[in-house]
Amino acid sequence: MVFFSAILHSSKGFPKKSRFVDSLRLLVRGGSGGHGLPKYGGVGGPGGDIYVKGKEDATLKSVAKANPSKRVVASHGENSLKNRILGLKGNDVTIEVPLGITVYNEMGQALGEINQEGDRVLVAKGGTGGSEKTGFCGLRGEKLMVTLDLKLIADVGLVGFPNAGKSTLLSVLSNAKPKIASYPFTTIQPNLGVLMYPDLRQITMADLPGLIEGAHANIGMGHRFLKHVERTSILLLVVDVSGFQLGPKYKKRGALETLILLNKELELYKSELLDKPALLVVNKMDLPGAEDVFKDIDCAAQDLKSSFDDVPEFMRPTRALSFARILKMSARSGDPQEVLELKNEIRKLIDETLVPDSDGDLELFRKIDKEYKKTGPIMI
């Protein structure tokens, strides 16, 4: 049976599963410098450099496809010639990568970040051309292993335990079509959706695979998922009103315990995440007894820290998340009023986070807004 399945998957007509790539290692080497010409004091051309550059529609998958050997080498500098004393520089190589990339060397040190289209980071410098100082021998270019680590850039990050209804929520709020089912770990890779508003405003939302207890320690690939929360503007925590149970061998957690555990996992991974503006959605309100549970959660979440004593000590965070709004809904039913209210709350919170701090920034913000209104689309 296994052999038969392998034959099916290897056949050309069988659709292959697309895998999301958010980390890629490459061996990069700058070009060697060209040799000098002692007789005439000629200097060899420097080797080509290797850069990483941001491009809006690039993906790490396309980078891997373009470089199947995982090796990127720049060309060598030209040797000094009798009719060209100064050798030409080797051609540079530019690796186009998606926005949100951090480049690390083999020691784990960050070499730079790609956050906007056109951002460029030098990852391997070409060798110096041969001259009198080098005995007219060209020097080798830098050679190192680099990791391109992608952290999704989105306005909103959906955070919750498996089967909380995050994918369903993303599908009713945006144009995304994530895989949806009634079992945990349906989402195994981040999904991006775009929330559209009548005035053409767009807000991006990232649905991250469900976390489990111990995600901060990389259990269940927690680090790979939590890192995508870092670049979001706000957090949208989604909690199942009936609580969460990973499996028959695990203890079932109530809705409030689930919320406190999410708080703890975010804090242990990176405490700065607790400073992000946040909304809380209590989902699956169509279940029996949901209203009574919501009343308790709503009251407790207003001052979450006061509820820490109600859970075992190992579950208690040091700091508590603060929620701008606590909403209830049934994402599965997709009630238009509930969806509209949540979309408006998301927009309102994001706009509040974008308010400039200084008077100078505020004046610039107003000027840009004024100019935009002059040239923006006119509804007729």
Sign of CA dihedral 133, 139, 145, 149: positive
Q: Look at residue 303 in the predicted model and tell me its pLDDT.
A: 92
Q: Look at residue 362 in the predicted model and tell me its pLDDT.
A: 58
Q: What is the C-alpha to C-alpha distance for residues 44 and 75, in angstroms, rounded to an integer?
A: 13
Q: Look at residue 21 in the predicted model and tell me its pLDDT.
A: 78
The DSSP H or E segment spanning 361 is helix 359-375
Q: Look at residue 17 in the predicted model and tell me its pLDDT.
A: 45
Q: What is the C-alpha to C-alpha distance for residues 380 and 371, in angstroms, rounded to an integer?
A: 20
Measured N-to-C along each axis, helices 290-302 and 255-269 cross at an angle, to the nearest 10 degrees, of: 40
Q: Look at residue 176 in the predicted model and tell me its pLDDT.
A: 58
Closest CA to 127 of 40, 195, 186, 44: 44
Look up residue 182 and give its two tokens.
């009634």
Residue at 163: amino acid letter:
N
Q: Look at residue 207 in the predicted model and tell me its pLDDT.
A: 83
Q: Look at residue 378 in the predicted model and tell me its pLDDT.
A: 46
Residue at 86: amino acid letter:
L
| Dihedral, 318, 323, 326, 329 alpha carbons, nearest 10 | -90
Q: Look at residue 360 in the predicted model and tell me its pLDDT.
A: 56
- Roughly how many angstroms between the first and final C-alpha of the chain, as a whole number? 63
Q: Look at residue 374 in the predicted model and tell me its pLDDT.
A: 53
Residue at 152: amino acid letter:
L
Question: For residues 277 and 323, is the Cβ–Cβ distance under 8 A?
Answer: no
Q: Look at residue 164 in the predicted model and tell me its pLDDT.
A: 84
Instruction: Please give the domain boundaries of the chain with CATH numbers for all domains.
Output: 20-150 (2.70.210.12), 156-361 (3.40.50.300)
Closest CA to 128 of 149, 108, 142, 143: 142
Q: What is the C-alpha to C-alpha distance for residues 348 and 233, in angstroms, rounded to an integer?
A: 12
DSSP characters for 235-273? EEEEEETT-B-SSTTSPPBPHHHHHHHHHHHHHHH-GGG
DSSP characters for 113-164? EE-STT-EEEEEPPPPPP-GGGTTPPPPPPEEEEEEEE----SEEEE--TTS
Q: How many CB atoms lie within 10 A of CB 60?
A: 18
Which residues lie below 8 Å from residue 199, measured CB to CB, with a gap of 6+? none
Q: Hunting for tokens 């939590």 — which residue is that?
A: 226
Q: Where are the beta strands (DSSP E) in 57-128?
A: 71-73, 93-97, 101-104, 110-114, 120-124
DSSP state of 229: G
Can you give the pLDDT of all 380 residues of the chain as single tens digits? 444 444 444 444 444 444 667 789 999 999 999 999 999 999 999 999 999 999 988 989 999 999 999 999 999 999 999 999 999 999 999 999 998 899 999 998 999 999 899 999 999 999 999 999 999 999 999 999 999 988 877 899 998 888 888 888 988 898 655 444 343 333 445 778 889 999 989 898 988 765 544 433 444 344 466 777 888 899 999 999 998 877 677 788 899 999 999 999 889 888 899 999 999 999 999 999 999 999 999 999 999 999 998 888 888 899 999 999 999 999 888 899 999 999 999 999 999 887 655 555 556 656 665 665 555 554 43
Rg of the chain (C-alpha set): 27
Q: What is the C-alpha to C-alpha distance for residues 380 and 333, in angstroms, rounded to an integer?
A: 34
